[in-house]
């Protein structure tokens, strides 16, 4: 019992040290993963803590679990639009790019370390993938804002290239230790890993989204736990069937993250914290596993291999692929530089130790050294390189508060946040004069650090954050209301469901329909009464200029909702002109 108590206290101390060390990241210009590794190394047997940790099996098990949670969180935060935008270059970088990197680095490693070509290729495969945790951390938490295509390419490549590196590592170990025949055997292993991983990830993701909105749990806190369990289920099922659990857990995260489900924001916050805990635990543990003095024995070999990886293998793998998809030279240079290695290579380097490969210890020490050099050099200079290449865009303002609809069932509504630009047509207008469709309500406005109660008299300003509660199919319409002047949506709404109190001038201002040229500034309710006269009733229609109007709802003699049809349909009886 006493030993367990000590382990709990020790784990808490190391995690807290890891969290506190993250405060030094911005000041020292080092990626947080390097600081987490240093905390583990300082606590290890060669450091101040003198903690002896020498269990590759435990490190592999804990590291795999942590990496699965990190990839799941990465999937939750990856919009499907980003995948559609860059899936071709990202998938080629995640497969062909990893293979090219492994070949170039592996051949160089075999000469530098004086080991066999297969062992050199094994080392190349181990360091072949970029690290999702490192890339997500740098791009999302270091204040580096890139254009959407470039950022999505980097994130999706880093999140999806681990399965290829794992496949190459496992395949080469099978060849080295079990005599697997290269060629057909490796091809079958590749198809099995990728195919099963993708299918299981899609199936589990689809299933959990359908279940979570139909099941009513007694405790709301169980919903995030249920989502976590679904990600781990995808990993476990795929891995046990012979597929790639890492690919499955990422795809499952994408499926869940792009669906609408109850307590969604709470779930995202829960997994963000869980991913950080996983990162800290994993890197501190890997720091404990290494003996720092052993790194000094391979420093010059590690330095040469790192140089080949960073300055030769990564550019050779990246440039031809991105060139085919129209990336400019500055963007290709940045993607070549953002090839950070992190936890995955170290975890993969444990495989040879577990299986008793003769050169396993040498490979592990060199891989660890390469990861330290890559993360320190590339991670600490990423912002500088992006700035020199003129690729850093202005960070969009963030709202200091958020809203979420929490319901134990599916609701036909959502909360959407809009940030008003300096050129927005809503700037300097009163909220009452924004012709929002019936069923859309501004629930909250934040300005700077202040929360402003929305009133009709509230004058909107640039950089205001508006939280609008609306029906699910109202996005296109509301987007027009708050968009920049001259904005033309890709697909204009054929029908606008508007409030009877909205005036023609306000509708014209918000939707650019040229209504004020047809008549004076009156409300839709008054227009209906003038046009329909004694025929005023629900479902009555009339033409006004090139637009067809329909009385949708009435309360007593008041017209509360009017449908404005932008496409002229079948002729209707013309009401008398005003």
**Is 111 found in the same domain as 85?**
yes
Write out the residue range of the structural domain in which residue 485 sits. 399-491
Q: Which of 43-47, 335-339, 400-404 has the lowest average pLDDT?
A: 400-404
Q: How many residues does the chain have?
A: 578
Tell me, yes or no, whether 144 and 239 share the same domain.
Answer: yes
Residues 6+ apart with CB under 8 A from 84: none
Number of domains in the chain: 3
- pLDDT tens for 253-275 read 999 988 877 777 788 888 888 88
Domain end residue (candidates: 338, 353, 388): 388
Three-state secondary structure call for residue 447: strand
Q: In what order do the strands lie in the sheet with 547-555?
A: 495-499, 558-565, 547-555, 541-544
What mean pLDDT, rounded, does the chain reach? 80
pLDDT of residue 405: 59
Q: Would you call 200 exposed, middle or buried from its count of C-beta atoms within 10 A (0-12, 13-18, 19+)?
A: buried
Long-range contacts from 354-359, C-beta under 8 angstroms, 24+ separation: 354/56, 354/57, 354/60, 355/173, 355/177, 357/119, 357/173, 357/176, 357/177, 359/113, 359/115, 359/119
Local confidence band at 112 (pLDDT 50, 70, 90 cut-offs) = very high
Mean pLDDT of 451-472: 84
Indicate whether 201 belongs to any domain: yes
| pLDDT confidence band for 313 (50 / 70 / 90) | very high
Q: What is the pLDDT of residue 229?
A: 93
Mind listing the pLDDT tens digit for each residue in 288-302? 888 777 888 888 898
pLDDT band at 136 (very low <50, low <70, confident <90, very high): low
Res 572: pLDDT: 43
Residue that has been written with the tokens 């996983």 in this structure: 278
Tell me: do 88 and 214 sit in the same domain: yes
More confident of the two residues 456 and 395: 456
DSSP result, 495-560 = EEEEETT-BHHHHHHHH----TTTS-S-BHHHHHHHHHGGG--TT-EEEETTEEEEEEEEETTEEE
Are 471 and 504 part of one and the same domain?
Answer: no
Residue finishing a domain among 456, 491, 526? 491
Which neighbouring-strand residues pair with 51? 44
For 417-435, the pLDDT digits (tens) are 888 888 888 888 888 888 8
In this structure, are 264 and 199 located in the same domain? yes
Residue 47 lies in a domain: no
15 is a domain residue: no
Among 234-243, 458-467, 513-522, 552-561, where is mean pLDDT lowest? 513-522
| pLDDT at residue 77, rounded to an integer | 80
Task: Mark whether 207 and 80 lie in a shared domain.
Answer: yes
Please give the model's pTM, rounded to 2 decimal places: 0.73
Give me the CATH number covering residue 422: 3.30.70.1450
The dihedral through the CA atoms of 156, 160, 162, 164 has a sign that is: negative
Tell me the pairing of strands 441-447 and 465-470. antiparallel
Q: Which two tokens stand for residue 305?
A: 């291999």
Strand order in the sheet with 450-452: 414-419, 465-470, 441-447, 450-452
333 domain residue, yes or no: yes
Question: Given the structure tokens 């959990």, which residue do they identify?
Answer: 208
**Within 10 Å of residue 103's Cβ, how many Cβ atoms?**
19
Residues 540 and 471 in one domain: no
pLDDT tier at 437, thresholds 50, 70, 90: confident
We report the CATH number of the domain holding residue 309 as: 1.20.1530.20
Residue 316 has pLDDT above 90, yes or no: yes
Same domain, 509 and 486: no
Of 67, 75, 93, the C-alpha closest to 150 is 93
C-alpha 203 chain-centroid distance: 20
**Residues with Cβ within 8 Å of residue 573, at least 6 apart in sequence:** 542
Q: Are residues 177 and 308 in the same domain?
A: yes
Ranges 78-82, 312-316, 488-492: which has the least confidence: 488-492
pLDDT confidence of residue 236: 93
| Nearest by Cα to 126 from 299, 313, 251, 288 | 313
> Given this model, what pLDDT does residue 424 score?
83
Q: What is the CA radius of gyration of the chain?
A: 29
Binning pLDDT at 50, 70 and 90, where does residue 158 land?
confident
CATH code where residue 506 lies: 3.30.465.10
Final residue before a domain boundary, out of 362, 388, 414 = 388
Residue 122 has pLDDT above 50, yes or no: yes
* pLDDT for residue 102: 93
Q: Is residue 133 part of a domain?
A: yes
Q: Which residue matches tokens 């031809």? A: 320
**pLDDT tens digits, one per residue of 349-402:** 888 888 888 888 899 889 988 988 888 888 778 778 888 888 876 655 555 555
Terminal-to-terminal C-alpha distance of the chain = 89
Quick one: 417 and 303 in the same domain? no
State whether 422 and 504 are in the same domain.
no
CA dist 139 and 145 (Å) reads: 7
Token couple for 142: 């270091």
pLDDT given at position 507: 83
197 in any annotated domain = yes
Closest CA to 260 of 474, 418, 404, 398: 404
Most distant CA pair in the chain: distance in Å?
Answer: 97
Give the per-residue pLDDT at 398. 54
Would you say residue 514 lies in a domain?
yes
In a domain, 33, yes or no: no
Q: Does 293 lie in the same domain as 146?
A: yes
């Amino acid at each position: 019992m006493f030993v367990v108590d000590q382990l709990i206290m020790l784990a808490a101390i190391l995690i807290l040290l890891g969290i506190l060390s993250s405060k030094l990241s911005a000041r020292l210009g080092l990626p947080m993963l390097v600081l987490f590794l240093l905390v583990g190394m300082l606590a290890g047997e060669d450091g101040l803590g003198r903690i002896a940790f020498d269990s590759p099996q435990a490190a592999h098990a804990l590291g795999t679990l942590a990496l699965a949670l990190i990839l799941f969180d990465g999937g939750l935060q990856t919009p499907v639009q980003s995948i559609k935008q860059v899936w071709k270059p990202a998938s080629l970088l995640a497969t062909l790019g990893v293979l090219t990197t492994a070949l170039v680095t592996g051949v160089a490693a075999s000469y530098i370390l004086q080991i066999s070509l297969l062992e050199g290729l094994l080392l190349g495969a181990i360091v072949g993938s970029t690290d999702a945790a490192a890339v997500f951390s740098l791009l999302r938490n270091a204040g580096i804002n890139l254009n959407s295509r470039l950022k999505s390419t980097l994130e999706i490549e880093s999140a999806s290239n681990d399965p290829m590196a794992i496949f190459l590592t496992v395949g080469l170990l099978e060849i080295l230790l079990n005599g697997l025949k290269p060629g057909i055997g490796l091809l079958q292993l590749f198809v099995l890993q990728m195919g099963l991983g993708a299918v299981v990830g899609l199936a589990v993701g689809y299933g959990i989204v359908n279940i979570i909105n139909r099941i009513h749990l007694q405790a709301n806190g169980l919903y995030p736990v249920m989502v976590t369990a679904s990600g781990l289920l995808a990993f476990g099922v795929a891995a046990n069937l012979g597929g790639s659990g890492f690919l499955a857990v990422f795809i499952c995260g994408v499926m869940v993250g792009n669906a609408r489900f109850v307590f969604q924001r709470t779930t995202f916050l829960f997994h963000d914290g869980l991913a950080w805990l996983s990162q800290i635990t994993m890197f501190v543990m890997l720091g404990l596993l290494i003996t720092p003095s052993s790194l000094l024995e391979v420093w010059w070999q590690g330095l040469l291999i790192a140089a080949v990886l960073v300055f030769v293998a990564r550019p050779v793998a990246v440039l031809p692929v991105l060139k085919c998809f129209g990336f400019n030279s500055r963007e290709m240079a940045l993607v070549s530089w953002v090839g950070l290695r992190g936890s995955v290579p170290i975890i993969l380097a444990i495989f040879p130790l577990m299986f008793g490969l003769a050169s396993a210890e040498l490979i592990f020490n060199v891989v660890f050294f390469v990861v330290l050099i890559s993360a320190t050099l590339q991670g600490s200079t990423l912002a500088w390189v992006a700035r020199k290449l003129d690729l850093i865009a202005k960070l969009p303002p963030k709202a200091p508060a958020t809203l979420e609809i929490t319901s134990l069932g599916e609701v036909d509504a959502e909360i959407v946040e809009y940030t008003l630009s300096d050129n927005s047509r809503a700037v300097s207008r009163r909220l009452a004069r924004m012709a929002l469709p019936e069923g859309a309500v501004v629930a909250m406005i934040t300005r700077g650090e202040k929360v402003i109660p929305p009133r009709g008299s509230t004058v909107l300003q640039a950089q205001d954050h508006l939280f609008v509660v609306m029906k699910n199919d109202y996005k296109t319409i509301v987007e027009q209301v708050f968009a920049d002047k001259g904005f033309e949506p890709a697909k204009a709404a054929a029908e606008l469901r508007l409030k009877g109190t909205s005036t023609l001038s306000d509708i014209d201002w918000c939707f650019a329909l040229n209504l004020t040229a047809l008549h004076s500034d009156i409300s839709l309710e008054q227009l209906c009464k003038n046009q329909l006269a004694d025929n005023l009733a629900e479902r009555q229609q009339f033409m006004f200029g090139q637009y067809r109007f329909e009385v949708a709802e009435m309360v007593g003699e008041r017209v509360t909702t009017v449908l404005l049809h932008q496409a002229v349909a079948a002729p209707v009886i013309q009401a008398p002109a005003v």
